[in-house]
């Protein structure tokens, strides 16, 4: 049976991305980041990042994504990782609060970008987390469209205390998954919930209680466990656009598993971003997740207005 037939065809998926004009590794807040190695790489690495980002943009558009671009800003090299900017569902957004001072300067820019999206009629409401609680956006809070819940990674960047707020604000369960390995410090570096209900994950990234939650809620045949090699190439950091799984690299085994479930695999190299601890999923933020696809999907309440100075007009 084609698992996709039941899902129906939703509206065009929409993503927020940010050009890597100022992307660099200038500080270290995860084990992948080595500012000296980046500096030694010189202009070639910046150039490579720009080319690879354009490759990702092209693949997303080819898979059918609508694109919103956030204006980059000097001095905020990690702003490219828009997944960390907010959690979005049903035209509602919760703005991120970052763990590390190095990224806190991004918060007002994401706030302005989301206000602009709201002004254009693409969002209805925007909320701020309770004081003192950190949550690094969709990078640690992944909507599972099949189970209609959020999976929240916690321990390194995000606080489990954010989960009750997310549950109340969006009205869906939020399952916390305490993370175990600093190399997989955000949930999206080790976990991807596909629209058919299957999940790509790297078991060693999770603590025993997190693995118990995963095993209790996801049937064995829906679990695609990565080997170490795929995991270290951030194969779990995938973006699923309709039936295309976009990823920096996927080994033969993973590719077979995905194709058997009816997906096309689109590889687009993003190793320049992995030097900062990020890949495909981190570089995108889905703006149009809907709890009930088919009911309110598509048609924003107000027509999307003209481009704002903060968020450029949607393009294909």
Q: Rounded to whole angstroms, how far apart are CA atoms 257 and 192? A: 14
Among residues 81, 150, 165, 206, the one that binds ligand ARG under rule CB under 6 A: 81
The answer to whether residues 289 and 3 touch, using CB atoms and an 8 Å cutoff, is: no
Q: Report the nearest approach of ligand ARG to the CB of residue 239 (Å).
A: 11
- The count of chain residues that interact with ligand ARG, using the rule CB under 6 A, is 16
Specify the residue, 8 or 101, whose C-beta has the smaller distance to ligand ARG.
Answer: 101
Tokens of 229: 């090699």
- Distance from C-alpha of 215 to C-alpha of 201, rounded to nearest angstrom: 11
Supply the minimum distance, in Å, between the C-beta of residue 277 and ligand ARG: 4
Cβ closest to ligand ARG, residue 117 vs residue 192: 192
18 belongs to the catalytic site: no
Residues 6+ apart with CB under 8 A from 43: none
Across the beta sheet with 14-17, the strand order is 66-69, 14-17, 285-286
Is residue 245 within 8 A of residue 13, CB to CB? The reply is no
Nearer to ligand ARG, 13 or 278 (CB): 278
Q: Nearer to ligand ARG by C-beta: 244 or 276?
A: 276
Rule CB under 6 A: is residue 233 a binding residue for ligand ARG?
no
Interface with ligand ARG (CB under 6 A), residue from 52, 158, 176, 189: 189
The CB-of-310 to ligand ARG minimum distance in angstroms stands at 21
Q: Could you say whether residue 85 binds ligand ARG (CB under 6 A)?
A: no
User: CA-CA distance, 21 to 7, in Å (whole number)?
Assistant: 37
Task: Compute how many other C-beta atoms are within 10 angstroms of the C-beta atom of residue 237.
Answer: 31
For 193-239, the DSSP string reads: E-TTS-EEE-GGGB-HHHHHHHHHHS-GGGEEEPPHHHHHTTTTS-E
**26 forms part of the interface with ligand ARG (CB under 6 A):** no
Site for ligand ARG in 136-155 (CB under 6 A): 139
Does 159 help bind ligand ARG (rule: CB under 6 A)?
no
- Residue closer to ligand ARG, measured from CB, 116 or 280: 280
Q: Which of 11, 12, 26, 30 binds ligand ARG (CB under 6 A)?
A: 30
Binding residue (CB under 6 A) for ligand ARG from 250, 277, 284, 314 = 277
225 CB-near residues (< 8 Å, 6+ apart): 201, 202, 203
**What CA dihedral angle connects 86, 287, 116 and 90, to 10 degrees?**
-90
Contacts of 126 (CB under 8 A, 6+ apart): 92, 93, 94, 95, 111, 114, 115, 118
Shortest reach from residue 32's CB to ligand ARG, in Å: 7
Q: Any contact of residue 20 with ligand ARG (CB under 6 A)?
A: no
Residue 106 binds ligand ARG (CB under 6 A):
no
Q: Does 188 bind ligand ARG (CB under 6 A)?
A: yes
Asked about 100 being catalytic, the answer comes back as: no
Helix, strand, coil percent values for the chain (each to nearest 5): 35, 20, 45
- Residue 243 half-sphere exposure, CB side, CA atoms within 13 Å? 14
Among 218, 282, 285, 310, binds ligand ARG (CB under 6 A): 282
Catalytically active residues are 186, 282
Interaction site with ligand ARG (CB under 6 A): 29-30, 33, 78, 81, 83-84, 103, 139, 186, 188-189, 276-278, 282
């Amino acid at each position: 049976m084609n698992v996709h037939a039941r899902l129906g065809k939703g509206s065009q998926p929409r993503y927020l991305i940010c050009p890597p004009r100022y992307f660099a590794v200038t500080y270290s807040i995860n084990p992948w980041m080595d500012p000296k190695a980046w500096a030694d790489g010189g202009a070639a690495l910046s150039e490579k990042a720009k080319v690879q980002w354009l490759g990702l943009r092209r693949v997303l558009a080819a898979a059918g994504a609508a694109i919103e671009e956030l204006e980059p800003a000097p001095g905020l090299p990690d702003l490219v990782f828009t997944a960390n900017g907010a959690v979005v569902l049903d035209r509602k957004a919760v703005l991120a609060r970052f763990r590390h001072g190095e990224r806190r300067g991004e918060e007002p820019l994401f706030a302005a970008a989301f206000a602009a999206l709201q002004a254009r009629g693409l969002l209805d409401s925007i909320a701020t987390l309770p004081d003192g609680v950190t949550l690094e956006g969709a990078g640690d809070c992944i909507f599972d469209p099949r189970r209609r819940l959020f999976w929240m990674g916690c321990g390194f960047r995000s606080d489990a205390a954010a989960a009750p707020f997310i549950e109340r604000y969006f009205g869906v369960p939020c399952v916390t998954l305490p993370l175990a390995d600093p190399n997989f410090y955000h949930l999206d570096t080790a976990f991807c919930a596909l629209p058919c209900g299957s999940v790509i994950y790297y078991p060693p990234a999770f603590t025993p209680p997190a693995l118990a939650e995963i095993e209790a809620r996801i049937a064995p045949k829906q679990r695609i466990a990565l080997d170490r090699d795929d995991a270290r190439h951030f194969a779990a950091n995938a973006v699923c656009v309709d039936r295309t799984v976009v990823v920096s690299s996927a080994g033969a085994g993973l590719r077979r598993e995905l194709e058997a479930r009816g997906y096309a695999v689109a590889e687009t190299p993003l190793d320049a971003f992995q030097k900062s601890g990020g890949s495909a999923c981190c570089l995108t933020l889905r703006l149009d997740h809907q709890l009930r696809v088919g009911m309110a999907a598509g048609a924003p309440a107000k027509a999307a207005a003209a481009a704002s100075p903060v968020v450029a007009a949607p393009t294909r």
